[in-house]
Structure 1
């Protein structure tokens, strides 16, 4: 289902794509950029279907997109978000689409969207970016081990030093890895010996994305230069399709570990496969954000033990079978995809699903803490079973 919104009164151009419906509807963030397109939104909605199916969650995949300048004044942002919420009132009331935060669309924007639709906003988890970075970092650590690299030997490039990329860069630096290249829409910074991540992040906090143009203990370069840097792992944290065939044919990285959804064009993905460069599945690597929505209490031990070991198994199965990691993960998603439209029309809320599971375990009636513990344990069980028999 695709909803196209062209509101001339507010100069609003937006889309909502519901790729699939689970028993709880479809969920995905609202991506805001001056050049966002319907094709990008469709790709992202499909990726959300794969993500929820992979982690066996009762939600389908969806995505929103709205044309808006990255530096839109607060009053213009408010006008657009309010207009979008009014247009989406019906689809939000039916729970066919659950919007969430995304690039240039904050939790405050989500609340404003629901308010405009005259609906209560969901309980929002502001650390989605941090959890996405945690799962990505766990995948980076697993990939480095798979390549036989100690932290100090591992050279990493991060495309898109934004919210997720910033958290990821800090985690890598604390681990002992060398972040040798970072980029954003304004350019790139490179240092083969390792960038001063703390200094760069402090500058970003102070100056915004323009920090990348500042002078320091690094070389300033066009953003495309990041892809020519000599690295072991590339971590894309930017837009859909930023890695095309030409780029993937010249890439020096030994593995690609994406926090971004759908970072490669189809031709780019094929080029990586031809060169036997592992492309880890974006919808798995960045799954921390979705997992955090299901259970807000997932901690570092979960990501650095359960999640990392799952990535270990994926990489081992990929090597043993001669199948790209992303293709193995797609098979898992397709095998466990339960987003059937008929399920959506069965009136079962998330709370009812949790209570049913509690009853099966003779834990209901119970309290909210028991429900949270059950959610957490079910996620752990799911992750620990993945790729056991691959």
Structure 2
């Protein structure tokens, strides 16, 4: 049985080869969230009945600044997963040099089976239940799995109603009309592709990333075969990963999948067409001109880049031997179990760990906070340029540390991040 995400994170913390010495007090602090909130949310449904939903918010550590992290709506949400995600966010912010701590939230529900009105009432109930625990100087929520800018619009409105404080920086990932940031919708995927671009140089894959779209003939003109990419998950992150990979990196997106299965075409997929098909049918499956495959078969494809962009523990010791990609780019949080990673490292697969690879979302969320605080609005190209700089610098920092100490990319990322968090804890007198 695979260990839960929080256990995996704690294992990674404790196996940092060159990190700070974990004294009993320090280890205790790092293995326990600073604050947990469990709430029951009574919500009136469209048929007039009242249903009660369970919700969580975990503020893992705020040594470096106010906590920051998304909110998920999912049927299988657990407090253990939320703890793990909050810990990852803490270390992610530290790795990317953001003055923030880490948090995560979730509600156990099936958003696909709820109306827009029910989702709005649930979202407002969640903010009401958190009371004074969130705010721009305490804990700043953002969208995550099955939440979006509309969800954040409802939440910021409820926050303003409850506090009387018109401070749009209390929540990020908002609509542009409510102080949202340009570039936020695809920031996780775009940041990940900046890392893949650098990893392609390291692994010898011919790839570049342009600020303007590739023409269909661009690869053919050089005689090079376009790098092949498979993406597990076709929500916001997965779709944008496919679109950016095709339009700006000139790759062939040969396979994508969602919870019901996947599709494959060696010639490359019409990404926008697949999304239109998914919206019309509820799934990517049976898209014309493609071969239906399972999620398991997607992981087994002989591709240059494999992108898990869905939920945690997608790659375990049961299927790690079947992964044939040259680069594994973790656009999702915790998609690879420790046992699976050990198998793939021995096989020479270049793994870009989640702490590093999917930092684009929180980086642009931070940009959104800064813009809100300064009552400013930045241009999209300026945001993309700053995101590129931060992601590229972080990638090479982790890569160089990995090589210097003969450790994996994940251990390097965890060690760098952990040292930043521990330094802040020591400076504040916690240890």
Q: Is this contact kept in 2: 1:196–1:217, CA < 8 A?
A: no
For residues 305 and 92 of structure 1, the distance between their equivalents in structure 2, rounded to whole angstroms, comes to: 30
The CA distance in 2 between the partners of 1:58 and 1:36, in whole Å, is 28
Residue 105 of structure 2 corresponds to 64
**Within 5 A, what are the aligned runs for 1:374-389?**
none
User: Secondary structure at the residue paired with 1:88?
Assistant: helix
SS of corresponding position for 2:117: helix
- Give the superposition deviation at 1:300: 3.6
Q: Which residue of 2 aligns with 1:376?
A: none
State the TM-score, normalized to the length of structure 2: 0.73
Q: For residues 1-390 of structure 1, what are the structure 2 equivalents within 5 Å? A: 1-7=35-41, 10-22=51-63, 24-71=65-112, 72-92=114-134, 95-117=137-159, 118-119=162-163, 120=166, 121-122=168-169, 123-125=179-181, 127-151=183-207, 152-174=225-247, 175-204=249-278, 206-207=279-280, 210-296=282-368, 297=378, 298-304=382-388, 307-308=391-392, 310-312=394-396, 314-315=398-399, 317-319=401-403, 321-337=405-421, 340=425
Q: Secondary structure of the residue that 1:295 maps to in structure 2? A: helix
Distance 1:178 1:316, change over 3 A: farther
Q: Closer, same or farther in 2 for the Cα pair 1:77/1:339, shift >3 Å?
A: farther
For 2:62 and 2:396, the matched residues in 1 are separated by: 31
8 A contact 1:22–1:341 mirrored in 2: no
What is the alpha-carbon distance in structure 2 between the residues aligned to residue 129 and residue 163 of structure 1?
A: 8
Name the count of aligned residue pairs.
343
CA distance in 2, matches of 1:7, 1:320: 50
- Structure 1, unmatched stretches of 5+, are 345-390
Output the TM-score relative to the length of structure 1. 0.80
Contact 1:278 1:324 in 2 (8 A): no
Q: CA deviation at 1:317?
A: 4.8
User: Residue 77 and residue 126 in structure 1: after superposition, are their counterparts in 2 closer, same or farther (change >3 A)?
Assistant: farther
SS in 1 for 2:319: helix
Post-superposition Cα deviations, 1:38-60, rounded to whole Å, max 9, x if no partner, equal: 11111110110011111222211
What displacement does 1:146 show?
1.7
Structure 2 unaligned blocks of 5 or more: 1-34, 43-49, 170-178, 208-224, 369-377
User: 2:296 aligns to what SS in structure 1?
Assistant: helix
Which residue number corresponds to residue 381 of structure 1?
Answer: none
Task: Report if the CA contact (8 A) 2:274-2:287 is conserved.
Answer: no
C-alpha spacing 1:92/1:180, structure 2 compared with 1 (3 Å): same
Q: 1:222, 1:148 → 2: CA distance?
A: 29
**For 1:43 and 1:306, how far apart are their aligned partners in 2?**
24
**1:217 match: secondary structure:** coil
Q: Is 1:23–1:343's contact at 8 Å kept on the other side of the alignment? A: no
- Deviation track 1:117-159 (CA, whole Å, cap 9, x = no partner) reads 4134434337423111111111121222222122434221111
TM-superposed deviation, 1:274:
3.2
User: Secondary structure of the residue that 2:284 maps to in structure 1?
Assistant: helix
Moved more, 181-190 or 297-306: 297-306
Q: Distance in 1 between matches of 2:426 and 2:406?
A: 35
